[in-house]
Amino acid sequence: MISSTIPVLGFAAYSGTGKTTLLKQLIPHLRDAGLRLGVIKHAHHQVDVDTPGKDSYELRKAGAGRVLLASSRHWALMVDEVEEREPMLAQLLERLDCDTVDLVLVEGFRHLSFPKIELHRSSLGKPLIFPEDSSVIAIASDTKIVPVTELPHLDLNDVPGIAAFIMGYCARF
């Protein structure tokens, strides 16, 4: 289980279920409730947030393994790893300044053991995750869940209801 001084809550689902769409809707609700949020998103493909031709990109491509780009409102640290490997959630959590957030939402890392809400759309025809993953603490679905479970069942389309569940989860910390 991932350990953290603040609540960490994942969203586990198969591709196409709507994890990012739900998070985009949830974040304003949680922020309006007073939570300071951090988000970690796992990508299964290579991403580069820097822009070719810009100074920071050119400095990194010239061989700087770490480039911190800062402006008056934003900063980003670009790190080129020596070896290609899957990111480690525990290490990513250490890199967040957890003193400035009340909750970290995680999209992805479905196979790791940490508290998560399973998102399920029956129309995708994918199996449920919770029977094999004891770290699922609730299921948000667009239909009734079979097999029956004692886990809380949330309506995937009820964003305020899911936000209320998350607020209750944070209150236990």
Greater model confidence, 26 or 148: 26
Q: Is residue 2 situated within a structural domain?
A: no
Confidence (pLDDT) at 71:
87
In terms of domains, do 97 and 22 share one? yes
In terms of domains, do 70 and 132 share one? no
Among 75, 81, 97, residue whose Cα is nearest residue 46: 81
- pLDDT band of residue 118 (cuts 50, 70, 90) is very high
- Tally Cβ neighbours within 10 Å of residue 88: 12
Confidence (pLDDT) at 46:
62
For the full predicted model, state whether its pTM sits above 0.85.
yes
Confidence (pLDDT) at 47:
60
- Looking at the structure of the chain, the number of domains it has is 2
Confidence (pLDDT) at 102:
95
pLDDT in tens, 41-94: 987 656 667 778 888 888 888 889 888 888 899 888 888 888 888 888 988 898
Say how far apart CA 66 and CA 60 lie, in whole Å.
Answer: 7
In terms of domains, do 78 and 91 share one? no
Q: Is residue 3 situated within a structural domain?
A: no
Of 7-16, 30-39, 62-71, the least confident: 62-71
In terms of domains, do 59 and 130 share one? no
In terms of domains, do 124 and 152 share one? yes
In terms of domains, do 142 and 70 share one? no
In terms of domains, do 32 and 72 share one? no
Q: Is residue 145 situated within a structural domain?
A: yes
In terms of domains, do 60 and 96 share one? no
Q: Is residue 1 situated within a structural domain?
A: no
- Containing 165, the helix (H) or strand (E) segment is helix 159-171
In terms of domains, do 31 and 15 share one? yes
Q: Is residue 69 situated within a structural domain?
A: yes
In terms of domains, do 38 and 117 share one? yes
Q: 22 is in which domain, residue-wise?
A: 8-42+87-171
In terms of domains, do 24 and 57 share one? no
In terms of domains, do 67 and 107 share one? no
- pLDDT band of residue 4 (cuts 50, 70, 90) is confident
Domain end among 62, 85, 108: 85
User: pLDDT averaged over the chain?
Assistant: 90
141, 12 Cβ separation under 8 angstroms:
no
Strand stretches in the chain, DSSP E: 8-12, 37-41, 66-70, 75-79, 103-107, 116-120, 136-141, 153-155
Confidence (pLDDT) at 2:
76
